[in-house]
């Protein structure tokens, strides 16, 4: 096998941040549903899952660029395509479904807090 093929096989797996983000999203959605707002719970779930998927896609593109398996042009192209797809999904979600915008931002904020918390926890353990 060539070096490029070998490095493409080592695709990053789902990490600790993604698992915790999905757990926090599920907890927030269940709490919102139990409080009585089904639309808010759907918005929380949509925001959390989409932002977690966005984080995984960003990590994949960055790993491809750092490992020198592809050119910088490909990385820029992949990042732009990823952003266009993400914006299209979010726009379609708000246009064609009844997503609560406040719930969506609660879900996104929950994932951002998990990412910041995991980064701070790792930095206190001596790693970057």
The verdict on residue 95 lying in a domain is yes
- Encoding tokens for residue 33? 């549903």
Residue 119's nearest CA partner among 48, 55, 44, 29 is 55
pLDDT of amino acid 49: 93
Residue 103 burial (CB count, 10 A): 24
The verdict on residue 79 lying in a domain is yes
> Whole-angstrom Cα distance, residue 64 to residue 77?
12
Contact residues for 21 (Cβ-Cβ < 8 A; gap 6+): 48, 51, 52, 55, 110, 111, 114, 115
Residue 105's nearest CA partner among 67, 59, 50 is 50
Mean pLDDT across 91-101: 90
The verdict on residue 29 lying in a domain is yes
Q: pLDDT for 44-95, tens place per residue?
A: 999 999 999 998 888 888 887 787 766 778 778 888 999 999 999 999 999 9
| Total number of domains in the chain | 1
Structural domain that includes position 24: 16-124
pLDDT of amino acid 8: 45
Q: What is the per-residue burial (b if ≥16 Cβ within 10 Å, else e) of 23-62?
A: ebbeebbeebbeeeeebbbbbbbbbbbbbbbbbbbeeebe
The verdict on residue 78 lying in a domain is yes
Mean pLDDT across 18-31: 91
Model confidence at 29: pLDDT above 90: yes
The verdict on residue 1 lying in a domain is no
Model confidence at 18: pLDDT above 80: yes
The verdict on residue 39 lying in a domain is yes
The verdict on residue 100 lying in a domain is yes
The verdict on residue 6 lying in a domain is no
């Amino acid at each position: 096998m060539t070096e490029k093929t070998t490095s493409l096989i080592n695709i990053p797996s789902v990490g600790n941040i993604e698992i915790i983000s999905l757990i926090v999203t599920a907890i927030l959605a269940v709490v919102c549903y139990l409080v009585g707002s089904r639309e808010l719970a759907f918005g929380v779930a949509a925001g959390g899952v989409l932002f977690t998927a966005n984080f995984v896609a960003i990590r994949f593109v960055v790993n491809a660029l750092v490992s020198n398996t592809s050119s910088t042009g490909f990385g820029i192209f992949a990042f732009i395509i990823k952003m266009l797809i993400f914006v299209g999904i979010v726009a379609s979600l708000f246009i064609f479904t009844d997503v609560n915008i406040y719930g969506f931002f609660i879900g996104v904020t929950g994932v951002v807090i998990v990412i910041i918390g995991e980064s701070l926890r790792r930095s206190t353990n001596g790693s970057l």
